[in-house]
Structure 1
Amino acid sequence: MADLQDEPHSAGIGAEDLPAPAGPGTQASALERAAALLSVHPVADGCNTLVWTLRQSPYHDIETPDAGVDTDIPRLRAGGVGAQFWSLLVPPQGGPGDGAADDRVVSDTLEQIDAALTLMRRYPDSLCLALSADDMADARNRGRIASFLGPVPGRTLTDSLGALRAFHALGVRILAPAGAPWAQETLTAFGHEVVQEANRLAILLDLTGCEPAVAGRLASASKAPVIISNTGAAALNPHPGNATDEVLVALREAKGLAMVTFDTERTGDSLHAVADHLDHVRAVAGPDCVGLGAAFGTEPPGPRPTGLTDPSGYPRLIAELLDRGWPESDLALLTWGNALRVIRDTEFTARRRPSTAAPV
């Protein structure tokens, strides 16, 4: 049945959903081709921070567009988004070793999970909780946006793996080691245990924000693919949040996924600049290891590249890549196929791991 679920079905986007093109006839053709491609291979976006935003504005209705927030259901659908990783990270409070801050990050993360689950319940016709690759494919087939919970911060795990198992039971499928004491200058013994348990539970490791050396060690230690849910190419912009070519090569070797962000500080102030980063990541990591992780969801909306100010801009980006000569097979991997494959491979790894683990 899984193979049948992965067969393409329409996600409901068409050329009529796109803004009128401003360029010549060739650009209109590219937009039409982009719409057709997204109807079969919608976007699996690796990062959206709307959950934290909605906690600050709990009565905001995301079925109605609002200029104060850059993400809502109409714009997700207009952009051809078929799966979304909802970030459960919280703004940093305190520093390493701050016990009170560690307590707050745990409680804040639980609040984030509760808010995300409430979001799924509030909009059941558009969003559905996804726990697996089959759920992701099934949501697309039913015209829903598959919603994965995570990442949660690695700082929530201190001396025990119980929290990781509890998060998994609540539906979390992604963990971000950045900032955790077990993944600082090196990967500690406990860090290796975390990686093994994440592999056993089919929880993706998100290396966003990790130092290059630590990112390489995590990628090597994991038996499952790892991801970077929002990044740019450091070779084009040496922003500390961007992935170096060394990290991109490590991702390629681990069959992982680097998901390019839409952030003016990291990827430039135009759609063309973002496309340049996608070109570079594809060239270094390979077409099987590049994806999209815009990091929308802020209030007020942060600085965004021209043409990519909200999720409805995805078709314009795909049209730009078509004009640059990307084959449609590579674009299908970029938008949907690579994310689906990474989740499936993570589940396959989990099935090969021992079915039980001793409490730690």
Structure 2
Amino acid sequence: MADMPATAPLGQDELLTRARELLRSHPLVDGHNDLPWAARELVGYDFDALDIASRLTSTQTDLPRLSDGGVGGQFWSVFVPSTLQGDLAVTATLEQVDAVHRMIGAYADRLALARTADDVDRARETGRVASLLGAEGGHSIGCSLGTLRMLHVLGVRYMTLTHNDNTPWADSATDVPVVGGLTEFGREVVREMNRLGMMVDLSHVAATTMRAALETTDAPVIFSHSSALARCDTPRNVPDDVLAALPDNGGTCMVTFVPEFVSPATAAWRVEAAAAAAQVGVEARDWEAFGGFTATWRHEHPKPDATIEQVVAHLEHVREVAGIDHVGIGGDYDGTDTFPVGLEDVSGYPRLVAALLERSWSEADVAKLVRGNTLRVMRDVEAVARDLQQTRAPSLRTFAELDGPR
């Protein structure tokens, strides 16, 4: 007798249909996507050569798959590696900002620049993906509050305080601690971001930096792409005491899909890879060099897969500790090489939503997760900025004045 064709488990098709309908009603706002850096590396920002209106094989993101994924808003990361410092980092960040603006202009029928939560809603009304900018790492401002302000003028609406390396004013999760969280200038950066209406992003920072920022900020914070430390023990994830502080702060942890931050087995694989890399002089926090090392090393040391179920476990842990109003999604597509099975590219979000519906998440709670919480944080940050701008002038304090020689 011939084999019967494989069929989806009972109810899966119906769940996926419900998930897609829900995302049509509440288009997802994702906290972090590295397509701009991929465009730089692959084609030098030539969007004729990298036509994102077509289905691409060289990236995890393109316009057709964003549509398939139910994405209505995307924070495009204007990331540059923290191996770049000073003026080099600032210049490269400006090139990234320029690339995102040109990308939006080149696909103006599908993308719309968004600076506010209201802009995100307006983009939905016109059937376009709201395109927001986020700077990944305080090295992008070169210890200059003036540069921070100019990034805001150019549309940047969050800044991650560090990337993989410390800044002179903040400790990173993946570097040797130096300042114990935030220096006085680091706290001034947070206060100036509050005044501007730029979200303080605590992904990538040390736990001491998270706590110092929460003590300093007048506005809600975000984690643009981090998961739960209790579910996967890696310094890039968020400890429970910080998650528990989010309700009082009003902020949101946007759970990421990066396997090394989702799966304990994949996290252990990365620790092993980092040790092997160190033996040949490659540091794991050197994003580009370490990626080149693991591309070869993994041939003999296969990287374990992560699963949608593990992502769900992180979402449910954040919901349990911080509450349903303080959890979101930051996939980090085009920011790493592999993703959980079923979430390999930006078209996979409905499968994640279907898995949540299967676990009896209400449609109202899913709507908060995929859109509502992020827009609420944006509106709260905007409101704080409006109030502060009535009483607080732009800060003219400098790194040298506040921190001096160390």
The alignment's TM-score, normalised by the length of structure 2, stands at 0.79
* Partner Cα separation in structure 2 for residue 289 and residue 202 of structure 1: 19
Deviation of 1:327 after TM superposition, in Å, equals: 1.0
> Distance in 1 between the 2:379 and 2:253 partners?
16
Amino acid at match of 2:182: L
Specify the alignment match of 1:215 in structure 2. 210
Counterpart of 2:131 in structure 1: which amino acid?
S
| Partner residue in 1 for 2:371 | 336
1:27 aligns with 2:22: no
Matches within 5 A, 1:243-254: 243-254=238-249
Partner of 2:196: 201
Residue in 2 aligned with 1:78? Answer: 68
Q: 1:244-323, aligned counterparts within 5 Å?
A: 244-268=239-263, 269-298=306-335, 302-323=337-358
Task: Find the partner of 1:166 among 141, 150, 159.
Answer: 150
User: 1:251 Cα deviation (Å)?
Assistant: 2.3
- Percent identical pairs in the alignment equals 44
Rounded to whole Å, the distance in 2 between the matches of 1:280 and 1:346 is: 25
Give the residue type in structure 1 aligned to 2:324: P
Please give the residue correspondences for 1:186-197 in structure 2 after superposition, counting only pairs within 5 Å. 186-197=181-192
Aligned residues: 332
Q: Is residue 220–residue 254 contact of structure 1 (8 Å, CA) maintained in 2? A: no
Aligned twin of 1:16: none
**What residue is the counterpart of 1:117 in the other structure?**
101
Distance 2:142 2:55 in 1: 40
What is the 5 A alignment of 1:122-161? Answer: 122-161=106-145
State the shift of 1:157 in Å: 3.3
Partners of 1:40 and 1:220 lie apart in 2 by 37
Distance change in 2, residues 1:247/1:118 (3 Å): same
Give the number of the structure whose alpha-carbon radius of gyration is greater. 2
Alpha carbons 1:216, 1:250 under 8 Å: kept:
no
Structure 1 residue aligned with 2:88: 104
- The unaligned stretches of length 5 or more in structure 2 are 1-5, 172-179, 264-305, 398-406
Q: Distance in 2 between matches of 1:341 and 1:140?
A: 16
Q: Which residue of 2 aligns with 1:55?
A: 40
Aligned to 1:43: 28
1:181 and 2:168 matched:
yes
Name whichever of 228-237 and 24-33 sits farther off: 24-33
Q: Deviations over 1:30-88 (max 9, x none)?
A: 11211111111111100000001111222211111122211000000100000001111
Residues 328-351 of structure 1: CA deviation (Å, up to 9, x unaligned): 111000000001000000001011
Partners of 2:167 and 2:79 lie apart in 1 by: 13
Contact 1:44 1:335 in 2 (8 A): yes
Q: Identify if the C-alpha distance between structure 1 residues 359 and 198 changes in structure 2 by more than 3 Å, giving closer, same or farther.
A: same
CA RMSD of aligned residues (A): 1.5
CA contact (8 A) 2:82 2:137 kept: no
1:109/1:152 contact within 8 Å kept: no
Alpha-carbon separation, structure 2, partners of 1:63 and 1:159: 38
Counterpart residue type for residue 364 of structure 2 = S
* TM-score normalised according to structure 1 size: 0.89
Which segment drifts farther, 288-297 or 192-201?
192-201
Residues 111-141 of structure 1, C-alpha deviations (whole Å, 9 max, x = no match): 1111111111111011111000110111011
The Cα of 1:232 is off from its aligned counterpart by 1.4
Q: 1:159–1:66: structure 2 CA closer, same or farther, 3 Å change rule?
A: closer
Shift of residue 304, structure 1, vs aligned partner: 1.0
One-letter amino acid of the structure 1 residue matched with residue 349 of structure 2: Y
Q: For 1:41 and 1:195, how far apart are their aligned partners in 2?
A: 31
